[in-house]
Amino acid sequence: MSLVEYFRMVLVGAILMVACFYVTRERQDRSLNFALFYALLYTAVSVVFIHLLAVKLGWWYFKDADNCIQMPWDIYFIWVLVWSVVPVFLMRNNRFIVVLIFVAVLDFTLMPAMHQHGWLVLDDNWWIGEVLLLLFAFTPAYYWAYNSLHAGKVLHRTYFQIVVVGLLFFFLLPYVLYYNAKQTFFFDDLNTLEWQLLLVASIPGLQACMDLSRVGLGTPFPYDPTTRLVRSGVYAYCKNPIQLSFVLLYACLGLVFQSWWYGLAIVISWLYACTVSDFQEKMDMEHKFGFPWITYNQLVPNWFFLWRPTVHAPGTLYYDSNCGVCSQLKQWVVQQKPIELNFKPASEFAGCITQLTYIDPYGRAYKSVRALAKALNHTHLIWSFFGWVMFFPPINFLLQTIVDSIFERDLADATCEL
């Protein structure tokens, strides 16, 4: 073992000792701890993806790194900590640009140094990969940690959780498993039908995450919880839609890739949800929300969807009674026998509205396509699923653009814009 390799081993040991001291100390800052965890989690996942991309494009590669991440494990460990824990812990009160310059200077110094020591081979375009790392690994990780620490941007925190969990469980872990089995893993081998199957399985979980952030003012992670009881949307049909989506996705992936590993993942996910998650959730939710939670818990199932919701947070749909399209939409929704949905003409709204508008119990307004999507949640499972799809941000943007383009000319002089 060379002197440099010995130093790397000692450095990793020292870092672990400091980490053990930190997590076992008597006084703990819960907010800071989870900010550090989120930064560490995102960096650990994103660095691997961008590094593998850099290796594939020939920007750099590590010598003698014959493992799934194509990087020495000790260097990966140090890299992730320096890019996540160190900046958030030591420089959380500094301006972001100061932290970014510090990390950039450090990395642009260490990468050529590793090249000179013979650990790393750099191409002339290696700086492109470094810029990608700063933009898509360090910056989002620091942003997530900062907003977690200061309890800001709850919807953005939810997006980060979706991205990192999706990358970890549905890309990185399958890649590692297939690498160790000496098989090739590529999602571009999937056909159109298989992609649609995965999308259908993921929609309830994705919409549930949005409901937790928009309605519950929290996130799916149990240590960044909601402050309101969510009984609308997907949660009116199933109590554990996120875990159920995981199971459905693993089942679909298992069928597509013919792998028993996904069957094992289903069992682990189900056991976690039925033991650790369920036990912790029941105690916490009953303490926070009392009788409304007890009623909801008794009426809504854990592991399957109701055909019609037995409990749903009330909502109000405002429509222009003088608009033929709005009146027809309102009449059609009434025919679906919605639960806990009130209809009122736009003239009764406290303010001026020019579009179909849905108001939830907390006064939050949803317009046009989103209003119709929220109203569909009060009907039955099939129409509710279409509502979840309509509410999904990329699809919602496309549908809203189509609606605006169709009605822009015909309703230019009208008071209602749908």
Residues of the chain with CATH 3.40.30: 315-410
User: Which pLDDT band holds residue 180 (cuts at 50, 70, 90)?
Assistant: low
User: Which pLDDT band holds residue 123 (cuts at 50, 70, 90)?
Assistant: very high
Structure tokens at 58: 């020939």
pLDDT (mean) for 301-314? 87
Give pLDDT, residue 351. Answer: 72
Q: Does domain 153-311 have CATH number 1.10.3470?
A: no
- pLDDT digit string (tens) for 140-153? 999 998 888 888 88
Q: Distance between CA atoms of 364 and 379, rounded to whole angstroms?
A: 20
The CATH architecture to which 315-410 belongs is: 3-Layer(aba) Sandwich (3.40)
- pLDDT digit string (tens) for 362-399? 888 898 899 999 999 999 999 999 999 999 888 899 99
- Specify the pairing of strand 120-122 against strand 341-345: unpaired
- pLDDT digit string (tens) for 333-355? 999 999 989 998 888 887 777 78
DSSP structure class, residue 305: -
Residues of the chain with CATH 1.20.120: 153-311
- pLDDT digit string (tens) for 33-67? 888 889 999 999 999 999 999 998 999 999 877 88
Q: What is the dihedral of CA 222, 223, 224, 225, to 10 degrees?
A: 50
